[in-house]
Chains A and B, each alone.
Chain A
Amino acid sequence: MTSLLGRDRSDRVYRRVLTGFALILPSLILIILGVLFFNALPALERFGPSFLWTSTWDPVAEVYGAAPMIFGTLASSMLALLIAVPLALSVAIFLTEFSPRWLRQPVAFLVELLAAIPSVVYGMWGIFVLIPFLRSYVVPPLKALFGWTPFLQGVFYGNSLLAGGVILAIMVVPYIAAVSREVLLAVPASQREAALAMGATRWEAVRSAVLPYGRAGLIGAVILGLGRALGETMAVTMVIGNRHDISLSLLQPAYTMAAAIANEFSEATTATYQSALMEVGLLLFVLTVTVNAIARILIWRVARGAAVGSKAL
């Protein structure tokens, strides 16, 4: 009797402790949002919504606009995904569907090892290896082929949106590849067998049965990569050129929100300057939350579609 009561009480305590812990993280997010908003208030009042589309960033004249950073953040992340998604998906498909068994673990391990390299090391590597490589072997043929497009205008000096995007791509590949591999491994063997039994080749089986089955998870993997790319700071700032400017050309320097905060915050001595950087932080926060919300909706819709599809099968 007493032991039962005791267990009951310990259960209640246990539940309360767990509930408390579980609530800490969401409240932390709200506190961060609140602090960002409170500190950004002077800039919000002073610059209003024009902060979003003003391109000038002049700490001497105290005129601040975040448009180039918003553009640079989105453009570098999109470029990174454009390069990383096909690469990471190929790795995942190869490892789950085509790779000889003995090769799977070593390759998967090495790809995931990319995620363990510190950001600043990527930055160094970017300056000393990637940029000279791009300058000698990538940009000249690109310019020869697509030099007429607005995306490859101007002279390539090295530090640029292109370099930032490529560095980011390399950094997010392991995340996308690892999650995609797990997703593809979770696809039941019956899916593949059914497609193969219908006379499909290996590639057709992957395309028509495996990928559609796992698409919700695959989108999730891409979004994880995107989230990482949006917030990456150190490696990007070392190669992107850190210029408050909007240019469609991948060869021109750009800036990202995270990089600007990291670069300028410690020496932002005036209240307006600090507040403007806080507002950039707030925008980055909102941007990340929005991207994640869109991803949730996307996954939710796709997952529902897949369920319908599997029912039809």
Chain B
Amino acid sequence: MKTTRTIALAALLCAAAPAAAQVQLNGAGATFPNIIYSNWMLTYNKAHPDVQLNYQSIGSGGGIRQFSDGTVDFGATDAPMTDSAITAIGGNALHIPTVLGAVVAAYTLPDVSQPVRITADVLADIFFGKVTKWNDARLASTNPGVTLPNQDIIVVHRSDGSGTSFVWTDYLSKVSPEWAQKVGKGPSVNWPVGLGGRGNEGVAATVRQTPGAIGYVELGYALINKMPFAVLRNQAGNWITASLESVTAAAAGGMKEMGPNTDFRVSITNSPGAQAYPAASFTWLLVHKTYSDTAKARALVQFIWWAETEGQAKTHELGYAPLPQELRPWIQARLKTVSAGGRAVWKTAE
């Protein structure tokens, strides 16, 4: 009798203890890292049942908005916040890179089996509508031995605002001064030519259904759907096929420009690394510098650090490029600045 009561009491205590320390963290933002974020959160929750993580993939713009409005504890974005957007919330924002993404130029040329090589300036001119035929002399000169058809090039771009468009136009702006001046970069821009498809799937469907079409989609999307995509020439002059390795190399190549005190709001398109794929980008978590709730801030920082270390092992199987390991100390330095109630939460985290 007495023993059963003790057991019942013990069971009650066990059940009550984690419930008391339960921390719920809500986040929203970019759709691109949704798969790995969801996976991280599930895995992390199994090891730390007291931390509940929710993530809604509503798009980068929506993530920035909800993060700025304070309706979520953390945001996520594929395009960094602008200076004015950060000033608008009193500078209370940190960008923490988590994984890397890349954008590829997928195309449909049924009779061409080798991957087409496209230089940066020709790529910009294709998206300007200046290079209009696949057998253009400038394309032919970089593809010796490949018979490119006398076919119209049909440009396909995203019609919805998207981080993918941001990375792509950021790359084109870096390699073409004319693009930077006339079109610029952004989640949506005034495209000089082309058809608009909604979402990666919309662009991919249009590209696949249209002979001679070229459009940009996320690397993972092109790989899963086995779409051929162009080999691009990077800043170092090497022809690079987009792959998880060449994307990680792009981030490593961009580190020199960043420096250890970077706020990570840097573009790694057209990265100088020898093996770097040129249309690559960070995707970031948005974290406040100061939180009011210590338990929340601590749990969030702990989770992010776990994602930056143990979590990175998950990247390959899920089709994301991991961050270069050399970045970790810099990320740790930024995470150490997160505070709650006037005290950094990092120390308490360890």
CB within 8 Å of B: which residues of A? Answer: 56-61, 124, 127-128, 131-132, 155, 157-159, 237-238, 241-244, 253, 255, 259, 262-264, 266-269
Contact = CB atoms under 8 A, between A and B. Distances in A.
Contacts of A244: 190
Interface stretch (B179-187, B237-245, B267-275): B179-187
Interface residues of B, number: 34
B232 interface: no
Nearest to B187: A267
B61 A266 contact: yes
B312 interface: no
B234 interface: no
A132 B161 contact: no
Contacts of A157: 152, 154, 195, 210, 213
Given A237-B159, A238-B202, A263-B159, A269 B61 contact: yes
A92 B251 CA distance: 64
Contacts of B194: 243
Given A59-B186, A263-B161, A132 B58 contact: no
Q: Which 7 A-B pairs have the closest CB atoms?
A: A267-B161, A242-B196, A242-B159, A267-B61, A58-B190, A60-B184, A263-B160
A267 B162 contact: yes
B4 to A, nearest CB: 56
Given A60-B184, A159-B197, A242-B198, 18 more contacts: A59-B187, A59-B190, A124-B205, A128-B209, A157-B152, A157-B195, A158-B209, A237-B159, A238-B198, A243-B196, A262-B160, A263-B159, A263-B160, A264-B159, A264-B161, A266-B59, A266-B61, A267-B62
A118 to B, nearest CB: 15
A240 to B, nearest CB: 9
A241 B196 CA distance: 5
B160 A267 contact: yes
A243 to B, nearest CB: 6
Contacts of A60: 183-186, 189-190
B64 A269 contact: yes
B190 A61 contact: yes
B160 A127 contact: no
B30 to A, nearest CB: 10
B188 A237 contact: no
B152 A155 contact: yes
A242 B162 CA distance: 15
A241 B195 contact: yes
A269 B184 contact: no
Contacts of B60: 267
B195 A243 contact: yes
Interface string B133-173: 00000000000000000001010000111100000000000
B160 A266 contact: yes
Contacts of A268: 61, 161
8 contacts: A60-B189, A60-B190, A61-B184, A124-B205, A127-B209, A159-B206, A267-B187, A269-B161
Given A127-B206, A158-B209, A266 B185 contact: no
A195 B202 CA distance: 54
A59 to B, nearest CB: 5
A58 B189 contact: yes
Contacts of B160: 262-264, 266-267
Contacts of A241: 195-196
B334 interface: no
A243 B194 CA distance: 7
Contacts of B61: 266-269
Contacts of A155: 152
Contacts of B202: 238
Interface in B293-315: none
